[in-house]
Amino acid sequence: MNSKQWMEAADHVLMHTYGRYPIVLKRGEGVYLYDLEGKKYLDFGAGIAVFALGYNNPEYNEALKAQVDELLHTSNYFYNVPATKACEKITQMTGLDRVFLTNSGTEAVEGAIKLARKVYYNKHGKADGEIIAMNHSFHGRSMGALSVTGTPKYREPFGTLEGIVFADYNNYEDVAAKVTGKTCAIIMETVQGEGGLHPASHEFLQKVRALCDQKGILLILDEIQCGMGRTGTMMAYEQYAIKPDVVTLAKALGCGVPVGAFAAKEEFALALVPGDHGSTYGGNPFAAEAICKVFELFGKQQVLENVRNVSVYLEKKLDVLAEKYACIKERRGRGLMQGLEFDRPVKGIIGKAMEAGLITFSAGENIIRFVPPLVIGKEHVDEMIGILEPVIAEER
Ligand SMILES: *Cc1c(COP(=O)(O)O)cnc(C)c1O
């Protein structure tokens, strides 16, 4: 069957939860993807900020194959070596003390919310803790994660959790005004992804940290998208000289194997006791081995150095576009997490660029998001601009 036939088949059996692009992807190599007919695409989406190491990385693939042959799954009623190693790596990276491994970002957020509520419950004997979340945030689609996601139309039909209050991102006065005696946590992304590539300002994040310390509120940073080196440091919050009480991770943590994690400071982590939380798959040896290998390859391939280098070049090139074309309002973001905001919906531009062999995603209606594999080179930036610019030039 060809791509067209597979797309028709898919439209019969898949739930219609995504507006999919008309491409059936088959394989990947480095920073390129290929569809069923062998057409090549330069990938500036990385499966939504997932595939940091590039596709078909031989060492990564070999490690996973070996783990499949050794032991794919046990249960969390036993210990396994890869999970322990993975959690050691995560504590070193985050500066936090204990880790719970999950299968996705959403589940990491879910766990972080439960942890914050349990800490509050232990203190107050009641489960009525409130959480302050940010407008335009994105934390996932399960009932808990959705409840703290700042897009009303995502939440409205589903009757989300009570006790969630939304404040404006980068507006300290608004956040502070929403604190009550019941506030148990403040949750935010260090750099908002879906919400439009907005980094937290230094002043905002540092003031929120101080507020949390003063009031005994847990600061949960969601680094599912902006973490794992994407902004030039392993954790984006390293650039703010602060540390959260809880952090959530996923996406590039497994580089394609579905994994996530939430990590917390000792005093809070201990609030969760046997029976409070669990997962059948979470931290299974296969998924944990993927995490271990990702950390190893980040070091070997000097991923952070590359991000710092190439992101300066990418910013410069995007700034040139933003200056040259009136339909572009602004370039913003941090590291290899960049966005171009247009004065119009970008769906058409993204579609045309895809036809021309470039994959990007949108963030909201008017923003093209650039979240390439972290191993891209300057030559790939040039290639991307070479495809995108003619499409933008037609817009005028
Ligand atoms: C993608 C994302 C999530 C959800 O992760 P899933 O793995 O899709 O469940 C949560 N928070 C942020 C910031 C994300 O970018």
Beta strand 246-249 with 260-264 is antiparallel
Confidence at residue 208, expressed as pLDDT on a 0 to 100 scale: 98
Collapse the DSSP code of 124 into the 3-class scheme (helix H, G, I; strand E, B; otherwise coil) and give the result.
helix
Place of tokens 């390129």: 32
- Determine the average pLDDT of the residues in 228-249: 98
Confidence at residue 82, expressed as pLDDT on a 0 to 100 scale: 98
The residue ranges of every structural domain in the chain are 3-56+302-393, 59-300
Measure Cα distances from 168 to 161, 178, 351, 366 in Å: 19, 10, 32, 20
- Determine the average pLDDT of the residues in 238-245: 98
> For residue range 269-286, what is the model confidence (pLDDT) as tens digits?
999 999 999 999 999 999
Cβ-contact 232, 206 below 8 angstroms: no
The number of the ligand 1 atom at minimal distance from the alpha carbon of 225 is: 15
Q: What does the mean pLDDT of the chain come to?
A: 97
256 CB near ligand 1 (under 6 Å): no
193 CB near ligand 1 (under 6 Å): yes
What is the secondary structure of 71-85 as a DSSP string? -S---TTS--HHHHH
Q: Does position 84 have pLDDT exceeding 80, yes or no?
A: yes
Q: Does position 138 have pLDDT exceeding 80, yes or no?
A: yes
**168 Cα–ligand 1 center, Å:** 20
**222 Cα–ligand 1 center, Å:** 8
106 CB near ligand 1 (under 6 Å): yes
Cβ neighbours, 10 Å, residue 371 = 31
Measured between alpha carbons, how far is 387 from 329 in angstroms, rounded to an integer?
A: 20
Measure Cα distances from 393 to 49, 317, 337, 389 in Å: 27, 15, 23, 6
225 CB near ligand 1 (under 6 Å): yes
**106 Cα–ligand 1 center, Å:** 6
Q: Which of 18, 104, 106 has the most ligand 1 atoms within 8 A of CB, as the residue to mutate?
A: 106
**326 Cα–ligand 1 center, Å:** 32
332 CB near ligand 1 (under 6 Å): no
> For residue range 347-395, what is the model confidence (pLDDT) as tens digits?
999 999 999 999 999 999 999 999 999 999 999 999 999 999 999 999 9
If phi over 0 gives left and psi between -120 and 50 gives alpha, with beta otherwise, what is residue 203?
Answer: alpha
> For residue range 203-226, what is the model confidence (pLDDT) as tens digits?
999 999 999 999 999 999 999 999
104 CB near ligand 1 (under 6 Å): yes
Measure Cα distances from 100 to 185, 200, 223 in Å: 18, 26, 15
pLDDT-derived band at 396, boundaries 50, 70, 90: confident
Using alpha carbons, select from 365, 345, 356, 341 the residue that is nearest to residue 390: 356
Token pair listed for 273 = 């006791």
Q: What is the distance in angstroms between the CA of the first residue and the CA of the last residue of the chain?
A: 39
Per CATH, which fold does 3-56+302-393 belong to?
Aspartate Aminotransferase, domain 1 (3.90.1150)
Measured between alpha carbons, how far is 186 from 180 in angstroms, rounded to an integer?
A: 12
Q: Which of 146, 187, 225 has the most ligand 1 atoms within 8 A of CB, as the residue to mutate?
A: 225
One-letter amino acid identity for 258?
P
- Determine the average pLDDT of the residues in 52-81: 96
CATH class of 59-300: alpha beta
